Chains A and B, each alone.
Chain A
Amino acid sequence: MRPLRVALAKGRLAAEAVSLLTASGFELPGFGRGRSLVVPDSTGRLEVVLVKSDDIPVYVEKGAADLGVVGKDVLVEQEPRVYELLDLQFGRAQMCVAGTQAWDPSGRKVVVGSKYPRTARRHFTSLGIPSEVVELHGSVELAPLLGLVDVIVDIVETGATLRDNNLAVLETLFDVTARLVTNQVSLRTRQAEVAEVLSGMRSAVAKKESVS
């Protein structure tokens, strides 16, 4: 069988995930060198593949990857058919409603801009507030400033970007961190390997938490 395949999001969060894998006993000296998107570990037990964060759920769901490391924001938005195995406790952020302090929410339908349209709609529906969701793909903070939307739903890390654009957090929906996910068939047919990665990462996460 091919080595266990772990999908990681390209970018700075990949480095954190790799450091957890290294702390779990895998060796990925090839990571970060060259432009290959497939990085095997020296022991041959697994390979890391670099994938756009939004695509990790479908790779795992369809079995093209056995495991994935992906943010809770993406999981909540896409509701993929994957099992969440562990909270890796990095990549911390919060999903928030943000807008100009001046926005008055009473009565009217709210126009919401977001890269997470399903999350946004679900939130306002749960509050019983009629909403119109405008799907955006980047620089979401611009939308309320230019009058395209009333508020935005987006992940907030330090809050600096919001402040720089005179926006404030109006409400927090949930906390976001990176999660380890798998699909039902990998869980069952590669039980021992998945369990090995899971327990290694669980210990690595616990060790990091006890130090910080």
Chain B
Amino acid sequence: MTEKQMEYVMSGDREKCTGCLICALECSFLYEGRFSPEASRIIINKTYENSITFTSDCTRCGVCADVCPFNALTKSL
């Protein structure tokens, strides 16, 4: 099983989240081939102080946690 096919338990720390949206853009680029927070499976909502939610389409691949520059996301088995 490749790492990409693994399913992780995902969580986010809004105190560490800076709102950079790199996670959302990596997700949409990977799965939809374009940069679009609207099409991403991780939603960062600045109107609620960078709340972090995962949509029902999220496959829990953990790529967002790999790319977060601020260690705001964790993936665990």
- Chain A bound to chain B: no
Q: Show the binding face of B for A, using Cβ within 8 Å.
A: none
Q: Show the binding face of A for B, using Cβ within 8 Å.
A: none
